[in-house]
Amino acid sequence: MIRSRDVRTVANLGVACALTAFLGACGSMSLTGPTPAAAPEPGVAPEMPATIRADELVGRWGLASFQDPKDRARTEAAAKGQCKNPYVIGAGSHGGVIMHLADQATPQELDLKGSPSGKNYIGPAGPAGGDQDREVVSFDGRVMVTRFLDKDAATRYGNMVYVRCAPHA
């Protein structure tokens, strides 16, 4: 025997299920017409190769820095004088260079990265122009000038001038 209370419970559950399905469908409907498709999220720019190769940077370098651009020539001479105690840029195992990040005691492999604007960067893996990257301001094969992108590091370190040391005789 079916009691009216059981029928009422089943009917209430059926109505609740129907309302749930109806309300779920309402989320995808609009009374004012079709909703525009969501704009695609901007993608990360594809990685670009740098115009400087890692093997061009590997070697011994004199290192100094300047804040004021008019001190650049004097700083290049000071960097050349540092070749008796050179900064060594090594070859990385994955095609990068072994250098220090700002405020890091241990050097690590850093990538050379290009950008659509033509600028070159040296930094950890990731998109060019990251906070830990340094921009290669100039490079002629003999002298390289870099500047950290992080404002605090850029203020403390200034423009880093690397002058290639003569090879050992």
pLDDT over 90, % of the chain: 70
Mean of pLDDT values over 29-57: 65
Mean pLDDT for the chain overall: 83
pTM: 0.72
Give the residue among 55, 62, 56 at the shortest CA–CA distance from 165.
Answer: 62
Question: Residue 123's pLDDT is what?
Answer: 98
Question: Residue 149's pLDDT is what?
Answer: 98
Mean of pLDDT values over 152-159: 97
Q: What is the pLDDT of residues 116-137, one digit of tens each?
A: 999 999 999 999 999 999 999 9
Question: Residue 43's pLDDT is what?
Answer: 43
Q: What is the pLDDT of residues 52-69, one digit of tens each?
A: 999 999 999 999 999 999
Q: Residue 17's pLDDT band (boundaries 50, 70, 90)? A: very low
In angstroms, rounded to a whole number, what is the distance separating the alpha carbons of residues 143 and 159? 12
Question: Residue 19's pLDDT is what?
Answer: 44
Question: Residue 2's pLDDT is what?
Answer: 52
Question: Residue 96's pLDDT is what?
Answer: 98
Q: Residue 47's pLDDT band (boundaries 50, 70, 90)? A: confident
Question: Residue 21's pLDDT is what?
Answer: 47
Give yes or no for a contact between 157 and 104, defined as CB atoms under 8 angstroms apart.
no
3-state secondary structure 65-121: EECCHHHHHHHHHHHHHHHHCCEEEEECCCCCEEECCCCCCCCEEEEEEECCCCCEE
Q: Which residues pair with residue 163 across a beta bridge?
A: 62, 143
pLDDT at 148 over 80: yes
Question: Residue 18's pLDDT is what?
Answer: 47
Give the residue among 161, 158, 139 at the shortest CA–CA distance from 50.
Answer: 139
Give the residue among 158, 149, 145 at the shortest CA–CA distance from 131.
Answer: 149
